[in-house]
Amino acid sequence: MKRSLCLAVSAAMMVAGLVTGPLAAQAVEPARVLPTPQEVVDTGTAVDLSGAVTVVAKGDVDEPSKRALAEVLTDAGATATWATTAPATGTVIQFGTSDTATQAVATTLGVENASTLKADGYVVANGTNGGRDVVLVEGHDAPGLFYAVQTVRQLLNGDGVMAAATIRDWPLMPIRGAIEGFYGIPWSHQARLDQLDFYGLHKMNTYIYTPKDDAYLRTQWRQLYPAEELAQLKELVDEARANHVEFVFALSPGNDICYSKQADFDATVAKFEQLRGIGVTTFYIALDDIDPYLKCAEDLAQFTSSGFRKLADGQAFYLNKVVNQYVKVHGLKPLQTVPTNYAGSAPDPYKEQFGQQVDKSVIIQWTGEGVFSDQITMASAERAKTTYVTDHLYIWDNFPVNDGQPDRLFLNPFTGRAPTLHQVLDGFTSNPMVQSYASMIALAGYGDYTWSGPGYDAAATQAAIIDELAGDDATVREALAVFVDLNQDWRPYRPTSPQAPALSADIVAFWAAVDAGDTAGMKPLRDRLATIQALPTTLQGMATTGFYADSKPWIDAASEWAGAAATAVDAVVAMKAEDMPAAASAILESVSLRASARTTMRVSMLRGDTVTPNQLVPRVGDGQFDVFLSRAYTAFEASLGAEPVGAGAALPATASRSADLGQYQNNAVTNMTDANVSTLWWSNAAPTTDSWVQVDLGATQAVGSIAVHQADRDDAAGDMFYRAELQYSLDGTAWISAGMYDDTVVIRADFAAPVQARYVRVRATAPNPGGQWVKIREFVVTGPVTGFDTNIAVDAGSAPSGAFDVDVETALRGTAEAGNHITRLLDAPQTGGSVLLMGTAAGAVEVKTADGWVKIGDTVADSSLGAVNVPEGVSFTGARILLQAGEVSVTEFLVSTLTAPEVTPTATATATATTTATVTATATATATATATVTATTTATATATNTVTVTPSATASTKPSATPTVKPVDGTTLYTTPGFHKVNGRDWYTTCEPYSQTTRCRTEIWSTQVSLVNGVHIQETGWHFNNLTYLPEMTRAAWGNNPLANPGTFTSDGRAWRTECNTPATGRNGCRSFIWAPVTSATKKADGTWAYSTTKGWVFNNIVRFR
């Protein structure tokens, strides 16, 4: 059965020629051929193959090549007639391996024939002879003929016209393909068949069959295949032959073989004979990933060299016996192997002994300098050949295999391999991913590189394979390219891997556009995010549907991440427009999508022999989505003008475990309580029912929360308790349950009211599936938090602290009964300001005064961001919501020193407010006169006096003289967010990320004089004072920026002056001034004001260096 994969063409080597004869008047698109051919001559004649064509070939021409050409001609719209001699007229294709007939046509067309080429070489040429079109498709051998057809396939355009071309081509490496050698979910039979078709299309010739799920290769290697399994293998062997791919059968006996035992040799031969019976002619013995010691008494007696040399002796004895008594006897292709020590080029006793003892015909695989090799150089490969004492070394390349990071797809272009390695190596086989169709991106790179390393263009191959897999639809092609960009991170194997480079560039441009107020500059990121959000729908239209199925977990995750980012973009834009309710609504939606993207397990895993769905959270676009969202959230949080309530302190604890769990290597239980998530305790056995780990707090303590961080990361299942109960106890005997947990990576409990405990433990309620061990990175027990309180029924996984931490990614969720409360207590009294609610909680807003709790307004049942102002002059020490019955979800319940702007109440309230203000100013010599504001607001409300507001970045009235932030002095007020009183003056500072640093803006409460239509106007309020750039960049990083270098300069027609390293700036700073008019106001005896304007240097910026 033949399955066709659509082979599209893209940027690569262009082949063009002179257009004469019947097509001379037509403009023929230059063809692009991959892999890059070795020799191209710019001659030939474009030939229309969409009509009647005669294919001249011998009757015994290679059958796979014949089928392939017939398929190509049918796709071109040709009506093909097959003949052994050429007719008198009409278009002719001379087709076959090099013989007198093909050589005669080559001479006619002026091209050297294929007889002198290397193995797998071919010639493709076209031209005219006697006024008719002639095409030559000639192979040096049968594989070369097959590859010639693949080139013809690429030379045809959509109209069935073959581009003018004269090509002589051959591969530089004899071994080009893949080894199915990964751990995890094996490929399906259909996927393997499709892989073999793909290899043929891409001129790859090797498939090493060694899937880890085939027991007859490993644990049952001595047993012959049952008839059903053998029949499936035969179908693979036949499909490989149909694509000129060598099916290499790789046996893995190393776990229990006795190398010197005749019975084990006989079992090897019997297995190979069974496979030879279905057409296998190349065999491989894999000795990797085994215990590196001899197993049986016979081997220990026969092989007595020191150290690991004895292992090499035993293995060489066995391999040589297979070579001499089986491979050579039957005239088979050379035996292949991978040794037990398969990485690194440095000499060692095992490698040297293995290379010296094993038969020189054996072809040896090597993984490079590491199991995963970032780079493979000529020098490294030459050293390895010397170390392994072999002339036949080729690469087992562990890319793009993802069994070590099964939550990732590696869709990188294939790079990092010297272009001239064909001079020293026999070839490469890629170890692909669990996802066979997604692996085709990397495999296309291997095909093109191993054919012609010097001609390999990674970008061209990447573009071509994306088009091939996507199909002809331009929208699908663009979407697939966008998705591939999100999966470029090959860390830690390649530390310099780009992380979603195209997305990253759009994010950088977006923030620059935000800073510049350039709406158009924000569009590229918006467009990219829209494309990513639509991936689950768009990519369903891919030509290679298997890629979509393989990648669906990552496609869905990417869409969700993009949704989170797109709504964060909306929030940033809303903040710029000072529409904080809209910003809050977008932030809440973004947080929800991000939480789902970070926690939804979509990737299946193999547990024992069972494929278990939804075990891992896909990682996609990480390093970009996260950073972007964190920056957007931080900017929003800073705009709220509130301080978080501190978290509870971690309690000192001593860890222990049940004896049955043990310890793997040096991963001790003490690592669970060392406050370091990069260390861990690791069991050496799977838990059974009632296995446990626990911590002892040393004495009875008040406990506010517990968090047990399992596996390698918080967002991916792995070694952990899969069925567990969290318990606490006063005496270690009587245990109280804090919750049951299934498949939960972070076991967490937050107590609405502190509980008393000395011991806390995790107990297994059932054995782990698949015999999974347990890792625990941190077992954290924290004390209660003061400063807030609630008595609602808190949902599992939520915590009261989520409403008070100025962190939009946490929330208090639960169910309230009428009269329940959410309360925030202040460290010191505050006068005025506002109470902010972000989320959903219906009830009355109250503040605690000296006279008790006083109602100041109401919330609404569903509000993205609402605020209720504290009446002017009211001093209070706490705020609360006295709740109505219902669901509660509060992202933030904050007390802000900002007063919310007066707005029209919502439809649920009718309010009338009258505000009067009297301004009294005492002028100094400059416009920054001191001022006092007395504001009186009277409000009458009916129903619920509920107001949904936009908190401004600056206060609308003068703040309390006792701000809630820590006291600052005249140097730190510029870098500490919040309200400050310094030298009797009121100041207000906000900070936000800016380019590569953080920029703080400071304003001062003052009276400013401005000239409006010839009249001087005094305005008292918050006015700009300066910008301060925090010490997050070095002086060198600022480069030639005039704000960071002494001297004068002109910008936007204004004169500036910068001074650095002065007593005022300190050794690591600069400050800048602008030449500007300054108006002074002087009060005259009659009570009026006199104004005078002069020009001078006005302070504007501070830059601090790291």
Q: Are residues 351 and 320 in the same domain?
A: yes
- Catalytic one among 75, 238, 289, 674? 289
Residue 1013 clears pLDDT 70, i.e. is over it:
no
**What's the pLDDT tens digit per position in 149-180?**
999 999 998 889 999 999 999 999 999 999 99
Least confident of 104-118, 823-837, 1017-1031: 1017-1031
3-state secondary structure of 634: helix
Extract the tokens encoding 592: 């929800």
Nearest to 780 by CA among 876, 867, 862, 675: 675
Domain count, the chain: 6
Question: Which residues share a beta bridge with 741?
Answer: 724
pLDDT of residue 994: 83
Name which of 46-50, 85-89, 1010-1014 the model is least confident about.
1010-1014
Where is pLDDT greater, at 265 or 1092?
Answer: 265
pLDDT at 14 over 60: no
pLDDT in the model for residue 558 = 98
Q: How confident is the model at residue 849 (pLDDT cuts 50, 70, 90)?
A: very high
What residues pair up with 849 in beta bridges, in sequence order? 852
Q: What is the pLDDT of residues 431-473, one digit of tens each?
A: 999 999 999 999 999 999 999 999 999 999 999 999 999 999 9
User: Considering the domain boundaries, does residue 953 fall inside one?
Assistant: no
CA-only gyration radius of the chain, Å: 37
Asked whether residue 494 is domain-assigned, the answer is no
Phi, psi torsion values for 218, nearest 5 degrees: -130, -90
Question: Could you give phi then psi for residue 401, rounded to 5 degrees?
Answer: -50, 135
Nearest to 394 by CA among 223, 246, 275, 197: 246
Strand locations in 807-929 (E): 812-816, 821-831, 834-840, 843-849, 852-858, 863-869, 875-883, 886-896, 909-922
Quick one: 389 exposed, middle or buried, by C-beta within 10 A (0-12, 13-18, 19+)?
Answer: middle
Of 645, 634, 573, 510, give the one whose Cα is nearest residue 998.
634
- Could you tell me the two tokens for 242? 């149909």
Least confidently predicted of 521-525, 620-624, 660-664, 955-959: 955-959
pLDDT at 929 over 90: no
Residue 1011 has pLDDT above 70, yes or no: no
Q: Is 77 left (phi over 0), alpha (psi -120 to 50) or beta?
A: left
User: pLDDT value at position 913?
Assistant: 31
Q: 1014 pLDDT band (50/70/90 cuts)?
A: low
Task: Write down the number of H helices and E strands in the chain.
Answer: 20, 48
Contacts of 693 (CB under 8 A, 6+ apart): 655, 656, 657, 658, 661, 669, 672, 681, 761, 762, 774, 776, 779
Boundary-marking domain end, from 731, 766, 784: 784
**Per-residue pLDDT band at 1025 (split at 50, 70, 90):** confident
Question: In Å, how far are 31, 154, 167, 461, 486 from 133, measured between CA atoms?
Answer: 18, 19, 17, 31, 47
pLDDT tens column, 320-363:
999 999 999 999 999 999 999 999 999 999 999 999 999 999 99
Least confident span in 474-483, 667-676, 722-731, 1029-1038 = 1029-1038
Q: At residue 59, what are phi and psi to the nearest 5 degrees? A: -65, -25
Q: How far apart are CA 312 and CA 338, in angstroms?
A: 12
- Does residue 27 share a domain with residue 45? yes
pLDDT at 1040: 80
Is the pLDDT at 1080 greater than 50, yes or no?
yes
The residue with greater pLDDT, 492 or 815, is 815
Do 1077 and 1059 share a domain, yes or no? yes
Pairing of strands 31-33, 13-15: antiparallel
Burial class (CB in 10 A: 0-12, 13-18, 19+), 118: middle
- How many Å separate Cα 638 from the centre of its chain? 28
Any residues with CB less than 8 A from the CB of 973 and at least 6 apart, and which?
980, 982, 987, 989, 1002
Known catalytic membership, residue 289: yes
Of the candidates 939, 953, 788, the one whose C-alpha atom is nearest the C-alpha of residue 868 is: 939
CB 395 within 8 A of CB 453: no
Q: Select the more confidently predicted residue: 873 or 286.
A: 286
Determine the average pLDDT of the residues in 536-541. Answer: 98
CA distance 572 to 637: 12
Q: How many residues does the chain have?
A: 1106
Q: Single out the residue of 225, 176, 164, 182 nearest to residue 203, CA to CA.
A: 176
Q: Where does the pLDDT of residue 904 fall: very low under 50, low under 70, confident under 90, or very high at 90 and above? A: very low
Q: Predicted confidence band at 1056 (pLDDT cuts at 50, 70, 90)?
A: confident
Q: Is the pLDDT of residue 502 over 50?
A: yes
Q: How far apart are CA 258 and CA 222, in angstroms?
A: 12
CATH of the domain at 630: 1.20.58.460
Q: Residue 990: inside a domain, yes or no?
A: yes
Task: State whether residue 288 is helix, strand or coil.
Answer: coil
The pLDDT value recorded for residue 537 is 97
In a domain, 947, yes or no: no
Q: Are 309 and 357 in contact (CB under 8 A)?
A: no
Rounded CA separation 346/324 (Å): 30
Task: Give residue 751's identity as a one-letter amino acid code.
Answer: F
Provide the pLDDT for residue 7: 38
Buried b (16+ CB within 10 A) or exposed e, 687-700: beeebbbbbbbeee
Q: What is the mean pLDDT of residues 894-916?
A: 49
Strand partners, 825: 878
| CATH code for the domain of 454 | 3.20.20.80
Pick the last residue of a domain from 591, 607, 639.
Answer: 639
Give me the pLDDT at residue 845, please.
Answer: 95
Where do runs of H (alpha helix) occur along 10-99? 63-76
Same domain, 539 and 427: no
Residues 358 and 423 in one domain: yes
Asked whether residue 488 is domain-assigned, the answer is: no
DSSP per-residue codes, 787-837: SEEE-SEEPTT--GGGGTSS-TT--EEEEE-TT-EEEEEEEEEEES-EEEE
Asked if 760 and 896 sit in the same domain, the reply is no
Query: pLDDT averaged over the chain?
Result: 88
Say which range, 177-191, 228-242, 967-981, has the weakest mean pLDDT.
967-981
Rounded CA separation 525/1046 (Å)? 37
Span of 386-400, 468-482, 484-498, 917-931 with lowest mean pLDDT: 917-931
For every residue of 144-185, which 3-state class applies, written as one string? Answer: HHHHHHHHHHHHECCCCEECCCEEEECCCCCEEEEEECCCCC
Rounded to an integer, the average pLDDT of 360-379 is 98
Q: Tell me the pLDDT band of 665, cut-offs 50, 70 and 90.
A: very high
Question: How many C-beta neighbours within 10 Å does residue 175 have?
Answer: 23
Cα gap 1039→1061, rounded to integer Å? 16
Residue 666 CB neighbours (<10 A): 8
| Residues 622 and 677 occupy one common structural domain | no
Beta strands in 367-426 (DSSP E): 393-400
Helix (H, G, I), strand (E, B) or coil at 516: helix
Of 329-333, 489-493, 616-620, 1005-1009, give the lowest mean pLDDT range. 1005-1009
pLDDT the model gives residue 1094? 66
What is the DSSP-derived secondary structure letter of residue 186? Answer: P
| DSSP percent split of the chain into helix, strand, coil, nearest 5 | 25, 35, 40
Q: Are residues 711 and 585 in the same domain?
A: no
Within a domain: 234: yes
Q: What is the pLDDT of residues 677-704, one digit of tens each?
A: 889 999 999 999 999 999 999 999 999 8
Q: Do residues 444 and 574 both lie within one domain? A: no
Q: Give the pLDDT confidence score for residue 19 in this predicted structure.
A: 32
- CATH number of the domain residue 856 falls in: 2.60.120.260
Residues 720 and 795 in one domain: no
Q: 146 near 62, Cβ under 8 Å? A: yes
Average pLDDT over residues 171-191: 97
Q: Is 838 inside a domain boundary? A: yes
Evaluate the omega torsion of the peptide bond into residue 959 and state whether it is cis, within 30 degrees of 0. no
DSSP code for 326: I
- The range of the structural domain enclosing residue 813 comes to 786-908
654 with 728, same domain: the answer is yes
Question: What's the pLDDT score for residue 306?
Answer: 95
Q: 878: Cβ–Cβ under 8 A, 6 or more apart, which residues? A: 823, 824, 825, 826, 847, 848
Distance (Å, whole) CA 229 – CA 232: 5
Average pLDDT over residues 895-901: 78
Would you state the torsion angle of the CA atoms of residues 169, 175, 178, 181, taken in this order, to the nearest 10 degrees?
Answer: -170
pLDDT surpasses 80 at 755: yes
CATH of the domain at 17: 3.30.379.10
Of all residues in the chain, the percent with pLDDT exceeding 70 is: 89
96 neighbors 58 (Cβ within 8 angstroms) = yes
Parallel, antiparallel or unpaired: strands 1089-1104 and 282-286: unpaired
Q: Which of these three, 639, 658, 681, is where a domain ends?
A: 639
Confidence of residue 1095 (pLDDT cuts 50, 70, 90): low
Q: What are phi and psi of 591, to 5 degrees?
A: -60, -40
Greater confidence, 1056 or 816? 816
How far is it, in rounded angstroms, from Cα 293 to Cα 303? Answer: 11
Compute how many other C-beta atoms are within 10 angstroms of the C-beta atom of residue 739. 15
Query: Is the model's pLDDT at 952 over the cut of 50?
Result: no
Q: Is 515 helix (H, G, I), strand (E, B) or coil?
A: helix
175, 553, 635, 752, 864 from 810: Cα distances, Å: 55, 25, 16, 15, 15
The pLDDT value recorded for residue 32 is 79
Question: Amino acid identity, residue 601?
Answer: M
The pLDDT value recorded for residue 28 is 42
pLDDT reported for residue 863: 60
Same domain? For 1094 and 1055 the reply is yes
Hey, is 301 helix, strand or coil? helix
More confident residue, 93 or 749: 93
Average the pLDDT over each of 224-238, 417-431, 859-873, 909-923 and give the range with the smallest value. Answer: 909-923
Tell whether 487 is covered by a domain.
Answer: no
Residue type at 509 in one-letter notation: A
